[in-house]
Amino acid sequence: MFLELAYKAKHDWWRYLIGAVIVFFAWQLLGGLPLLAAVLIEMGPEILSLAEEEDTMKMLQVLDSNLAFFLLLFMFAVGLGALFLVYRLLHKQPILEATTARKKVDWGRFWFGFGIIAAFTIVATVIDYQLRPEDFIWNFKLVPFLILALIAVVMVPLQTSFEEYLFRGYFMQGLGVLAGNKWFPLITTSVLFGALHMWNPEVEKLGYIIMVYYIGTGLLLGIMTLMDDGLELALGFHFGNNLIGALLITADWTAFQTNSILRDVSEPTAGLDIILPVVIVYPIFLFIMAKTYKWDNWKEKLFGKVKPPELLKYSEEM
């Protein structure tokens, strides 16, 4: 079982605390140096006034969108490298056991997770475009788009993998061992995942109601991980969501400003369009996955105890 794999590694609470500090330092500070340098070179002393206003979006807008996109994702790549080092050096845990309870990574599950969200996003965007063509402008330019596609294919999986290994892997396994149950890490990592996005420009534009979407997405990915005993579905789903989103559509108020195919120029509103995906679409995704991979024993997998392997084996024999 996925969470119990942490018992095979060095799982003292202080290791997770030190590991989290190391990863945060690498991700935000070391990983952010190239982005800061690029903005400084472009803006010079003017950056001080924007820094006082805490206007990160304006800072990024001085850069070419593809360069800004690459440098933002580079931060996550550095964080992922640091996290893998923490796994190996601080916890003595193989990356496979941080990924899945299976004997090897199931790439079929990865691509299934990718495909289900990619298909949904494309279909939903086409329908939205047909219903509200006045809300979109054609943003496609061949050369910038091809550069964007290359950056996205290489860097987006590093960004999404960092978030999955950190929240559904590192934190979920660590909190599972410390709390001795599964519901606490599921809820806690979902809230933390939502909090990670609190400084996104979407929150400033739409208000805190969008946190329902972010926390709900974290909960969806956490349920996938616990029910399937591995990160493969969550890794693929997160990658598909961010990749297709970056290539297909952008807006002036989103975190990723890209040379995408479409630009949404409508005035965004926060309401049912944020809540409905969480309460209707996400359960449908889980239903499809549950039928495909024959998930059962939901109560135990989502709310059961996290026990050392020897105790787990004894309780099963009893």
| 178-209 pLDDT, tens digit each | 999 999 999 999 999 999 988 888 887 888 88
Listing DSSP states for the chain in one string gives -TGGGGGGS---HHHHHHHHHHHHIIIIIITTHHHHHHHHHHHGGGHHHHHHHT-HHHHHHTS-HHHHHHHHHHHHHHHHHHHHHIIIIIS---TGGGTBSSSS--HHHHHHHHHHHHHHHHHHHHHHHHH-GGGEEE---HHHHHHHHHHHHHHHHHHHHHHIIIIIIIIHHHHHHHHSBSHHHHHHHHHHHHHHTTTSHHHHHH-GGGHHHHHHHHHHHHHHHHHHTBSHHHHHHHHHHHHHHHHHEEETTSS-----SEEE-S----SHHHHHIIIIIHHHHHHHHHHHHT---HHHHHHSB---HHHHHHHHH-
| C-alpha–C-alpha distance, residues 306 and 283, integer Å | 25
If you average pLDDT over residues 207-215, what whole number do you get?
90
| Higher-pLDDT residue of 57, 243 | 243
First to last CA, the chain: 18
- Check if the beta carbon of residue 69 is closer than 8 Å to that of residue 148: yes
> Between 312 and 203, where is the model more confident?
203
**Is the pLDDT score of 265 beyond 60?**
yes
Cβ atoms of residues 228 and 109 within 8 Å: yes
pLDDT at 141 over 90: yes
Q: With beta carbons less than 8 A apart as the criterion, state whether 77 and 31 touch.
A: yes
The tokens for 209 are: 């109601």
Q: Binning pLDDT at 50, 70 and 90, where does residue 251 land? A: confident
Tell me the sheet residues that pair with 249. 262
Q: Look up the pTM and report it.
A: 0.92
pLDDT of residue 57: 64
Q: How confident is the model at residue 97 (pLDDT cuts 50, 70, 90)?
A: very high
- The token duo for 131 is 């219903």
User: Do 229 and 1 form a contact (C-beta atoms < 8 A)?
Assistant: yes
Assign 311 a pLDDT band (cuts: 50, 70, 90): low
CA dist 183 and 160 (Å) reads 23
Residue 294 has pLDDT above 80, yes or no: yes
Q: Which of 22-36, 263-277, 281-295 has the lowest mean pLDDT?
A: 263-277
Look over the chain and give the mean of its residue pLDDT values, rounded to a whole number.
Answer: 91
Residue 313 has pLDDT above 50, yes or no: no
3-state secondary structure 42-55: HHHHHHHHHHHHCC
Q: Which of 43-57, 152-166, 245-259 has the lowest mean pLDDT?
A: 43-57
Domain span holding position 165: 3-317
pLDDT at 317 (0 to 100): 42
Q: What was the pLDDT predicted at 50?
A: 55
Answer yes or no: is pLDDT of 154 > 70. Answer: yes
> Are the C-beta atoms of residues 31 and 74 closer than 8 Å to each other?
yes
Cα 69 from Cα 158, distance rounded (Å): 13
User: Residue 315 has what pLDDT?
Assistant: 40
Total count of domains within the chain:
1
